[in-house]
Amino acid sequence: MKRRTSRAGTDPVPAPLRGIIPMLLLTLLVVALAVPAGIAIAPAFLGPDRSADAAKPAPPWQQAPTRLSSPRGTGGIGPLSASAAAPDAGPLAAQLNDSLKTDGAGTITGAVQDAATGQLLFDRSGDEARVPASNMKLFTASAALRVLGPDRRFSTKVVAGSAPGSVVLTGGGDVLLGAGESAPGAVVGHAGLATLAQATVRALQNDGVSGTVTVLLDDSLFSGPPLNPAWSPDDVAAGEMAPLYPLATNSARFDPAKTTGPRPQDAAMAAAEAFTAQLTAAAAAAGLSVAPGVVRAPAGAGSGPEKSGPDKSRPGKGDVRVLAEVQSATVGQQVDLLLRTSDNYLAEVMGRMTALAGGRPGSNDGAIAAVLQQLKDMDIPTDTLRAEDVSGLALANQVSARQLTDVVRAMTSGKDTRLRAALAGFPVAGLTGTLGDRYTDASTAGGAGLVRAKTGTLNTVIALSGYVVDADGRLLVFSFIGNGLTPGAANKAALDRAASVLARCGCR
């Protein structure tokens, strides 16, 4: 049986959920989660009252507002009350242990921390190293936000080639290119190849170029093997991963509307061919022609006679003349996407871009080293952590639940506010991303709309790490990891039940 990661892409809303979505939307409440210092974080969202005691009034922070809040200071909402009580460890453990029962073989470890104080409220072998599946992406997201910053964008450029009439399409890390015109409001397709082609033709016209234009491809930004030997060939064939390049359309997908199935095995060349098609169309209107086919150029092929200063995004490339350029969505937006859809390809590219920004090679080893260094800098112990990739597709990864709660706590409540940019990307239980089709039955509906967590799924592995505000208004971070499970068994529900316990629990 094939090992598979969490699905990339938001599933259609399942039929059991359609009836409650209008009620969810009507009762949606934005909650600012913050440390006592008052740093606001991303909101939790209301779900329906499915508790055993439905007659008990919901606490104020889980009720629909009757009026808009007045702006305060910079417009942020006030922090959660510092007087909200944390759950008692004993009653909480009793409920969680009752929920965390496997269906068949295997075991589940877990940890729950109070976000404000770091107090460990639940510990079930929380320091034991386990296969984390796609929860590995939480480490990659935090490293990217710390090193690159949430506002960083990646550039895809066309530069003048060394031969007259030649242009070089140069990859700069944007694998979310669109084939059409740039879409400023989008993440996938924020930078469009048609827009890049049109700008290239205008630049060529201004330079007085005539005749036939030749397109070359420079995708030399990354180094090392494009495929990690730790990945299963079955997973690659199924489209969970593909050879990594520093430019691609639709996160190396043939169709932006299809986020499953096989991927192109040469995503950079596929993007270059799409660019050439757009350039051909734009050039025809300007009286130019474009030679068929694209040739890979050696690194530094762009070295036309006219100079516009060094291209600092490509170390060692020297002076080049940039003819046209498009920029990606921000790193923060891309991190949201990779967490929400659990996109392995995008996560691995983000790891390599993080490595390059830190002065390391843009390779698998460089990405791993960059991520581990950031965890150490965040004071997250890494002695027991083993990383074979930065997406979580490799079964050789070893991570503890406590390490995952530590990184989620850093995102929600740590001093580095750049990490707050990751919070909106956590899937919302029953509503978005890889949690969109979960939390729909009576045992888990108490967490619907409230739990925000990153999923992880391999053949015998499940994981769930995230954050939630409990019934007393206390922000909790959690991680549950199941390993050695019976393939195909109903174990996701156990993790969802546990997270729902946290959402509805005062537990005293």
The residues annotated as belonging to the active site are 134, 137, 342
Residue 430 carries which DSSP code?
A: T
As a dihedral over the C-alpha atoms of residue 127, residue 434, residue 244, residue 275, rounded to 10 degrees, the angle is: -160
Please give the DSSP secondary-structure letter assigned to residue 428.
B
Cα 329 to Cα 154: distance, rounded to the nearest angstrom: 8
C-alpha distance across the termini of the chain, in Å: 44
Query: What is the chain's length?
Result: 508
Q: Which two tokens stand for residue 38?
A: 């008052």
Per the listing, tokens 């020297």 go with 318
Q: Which residues contact 71 (CB under 8 A, 6 or more apart)?
A: none
Q: What is the CA radius of gyration of the chain?
A: 24
For residue 365, the one-letter residue type is D
Provide the residue type at 149 as one letter: G
Strand 174-177, strand 247-249: pairing: parallel
How is residue 325 written in tokens?
Answer: 């350029």
Q: How far apart are CA 66 and CA 50, in angstroms?
A: 22
Residue pointed to by tokens 């509503």? 431
Q: In 3-state terms, what secondary structure has residue 338?
A: helix
